[in-house]
Structure 1
Amino acid sequence: MILRRSGLTSADRSEPLRPFVADERAEPEQLISLRSRLARWLRDSGCGTERVETVLLAANEAISNAIEHAYADTEPGPVHIRGQVLPDGTIRIAVADQGSWRPAQPGGYRGRGILMMQECGDTVWIVRSSYGTVVTLTARPEEQPEPGAAAAACRDQFQLRRQFTDGHVVAKVTGTVSAGCEAALARELLAASCGGVAPMTIDLTGLSRDTEHARDAIQQTAQAARRVGGSTTLVVNGPRTDAWHRVAEVSEIIHSP
């Protein structure tokens, strides 16, 4: 997790904050201790109380996933948590295990944790390999406003219908996506695909009009999916145009005649 805080650098401290280092066995009873130690370290870094809780929520989800799922079919192995304050005041936290990745199932409960981590910060990166999984999150220092009434108004403008087939999501968007509704659509698409982990086809042929705001929402969704190892395929009306160039860099696009 990377948290950028304005106005505070290493020069503002009498001594640099020591890195956070925790190497524990992936057992549930370790969670309370790890959360307490990480909270104390974050407070020492200068984070405010509310922001500490938000960061902890995301980090706790990443740690919980490693403890609960990485070694589900074997004896518990290690979980590694690292935190560091960089010279510009950025805080970096990574959570790693040496176990196996368990894919989320769209339409079920699993996978909501990734979406929650994304909402607590700016981005979530997941790197999976035969050596295990590393989760890195990024977050701005400011508390983000709740979607509230604005999101509700956006949902009155567009509709999203989802179908799940063998772990694949097909999301059909109809209506229109106007200014200020990009984040609302991106969130609903990510929620449908377990935070972007599940492969997803996004059908935009039912939009009443092609807008820059719709393209921005899809670009946000495709970028988030890429960061967690997912993929998106986009279906749009009409021939290939420069309007979709930015989206084509992060998503496959099928142009419907």
Structure 2
Amino acid sequence: MVTAQRDPLDVRVVADPRRLGELRNRLNGWLADRGIPEELADRVVLAANEAATNAIVHAYRDTEPGPVRLRAEADGRSVVVTVSDEGTWKPARPGAGPGGRGVLIMQESMDDVRIDRGTHGTTVTLRASAQHVPEITDTVEPDAERHRLDVRTVGQTTVARLHGSAHPVAATHLRRQLLAATCGGVVPLVVDLAELESVDGGITEALQAVAHAADGAGERVVVVAPTEAVARRLTGLNEALQIVRAS
């Protein structure tokens, strides 16, 4: 149980990589003082560190370093951390190297991640509950040939064509493939199901999770459905899913 506190943590630093350790230590100490379970505290610090790193390294890339603010609260059910800056959002580029993994790490660590990108800065809101423990072990599909994902980049959009089928036990594996291809959901995604043999629980579960991540980042997921029956099955899964028929 997370105990609600009236005294949130509120730290403001200049965007300097040398201040990351201070932010982590302040947050870790605040969580410990409030008796937050160690597993939950570790997840929160990991995700907050990624959000702060993105703000410090990227928000002021072409300007003078500005402020980065970290605020943490416990609301009785969960811990909520916001990391905000007054800089400019730098869009991730899938396939352009090891960058863009910070949001993916946040998505894997937290129950909910929201990214608000505006003209006057970016705010990342992280929420995690002690009652929910994310699946952090790698999930390997029992049958490696059951589904195949072909990924390419068209402009700033990731296009993923799915072949075969995805059993429900492969949902986590497929979700991680799609999130990795879109840097945690911050890159526009088109999922092409034209070569899909069947739409089963693994597909719908993975698409729901990816759509939730994209919605939190202010993006949408376009799904190309091969038939009207598939389109009907996917309609209503998530408001961030846009279903279109294959031409």
Measured after TM superposition, the shift of residue 28 of structure 1 is 1.4
**Structure 2: tracts of 5 or more residues without a match:** none
Say whether residues 1:117 and 2:111 are aligned partners: no
Q: CA 1:181–1:154 in structure 2 vs 1: closer, same or farther (change >3 Å)? A: farther
- The 8 Å contact of residues 170 and 203 in structure 1, kept in 2 or not, is answered as yes
CA distance in structure 1 between the partners assigned to 2:144 and 2:108 by the alignment: 18
Superposed CA RMSD in Å reads 1.9
Which string of whole-angstrom CA distances, capped at 9 and with x for unpartnered residues, describes residues 201-238 of structure 1? 10111111122431232122122112112222111111
SS of the counterpart of 1:246?
A: coil
Indicate the percent of aligned positions where both proteins have the same amino acid: 36
- The 8 Å contact of residues 167 and 198 in structure 1, kept in 2 or not, is answered as yes
Match of 2:9 in 1: 20
- The 8 Å contact of residues 168 and 200 in structure 2, kept in 1 or not, is answered as no
CA distance in structure 2 between the partners assigned to 1:54 and 1:137 by the alignment: 10
1:46-61 correspondence runs (5 A): 46-61=35-50
**Structure 1: tracts of 5 or more residues without a match:** 1-6, 11-15
Amino acid across the alignment from 1:159: R
CA distance in structure 1 between the partners assigned to 2:116 and 2:66 by the alignment: 18
Match of 2:240 in 1: 250
- The 8 Å contact of residues 154 and 181 in structure 1, kept in 2 or not, is answered as no
SS of the counterpart of 2:168?
A: coil
SS of the counterpart of 2:40?
A: helix
- The 8 Å contact of residues 239 and 256 in structure 1, kept in 2 or not, is answered as no
Say whether residues 1:84 and 2:77 are aligned partners: no
1:1-257 correspondence runs (5 A): 7-10=1-4, 16=5, 18-86=7-75, 88-108=76-96, 109-141=98-130, 142-148=132-138, 150-153=139-142, 155-239=144-228, 241-247=231-237, 249-256=239-246
Which string of whole-angstrom CA distances, capped at 9 and with x for unpartnered residues, describes residues 1-28 of structure 1? xxxxxx3434xxxxx4621010111111
Measured after TM superposition, the shift of residue 154 of structure 1 is 6.1
Measured after TM superposition, the shift of residue 200 of structure 1 is 1.3
CA distance in structure 1 between the partners assigned to 2:77 and 2:35 by the alignment: 9
SS of the counterpart of 2:212?
A: helix
TM-score, length basis structure 2: 0.91
TM-score, length basis structure 1: 0.88
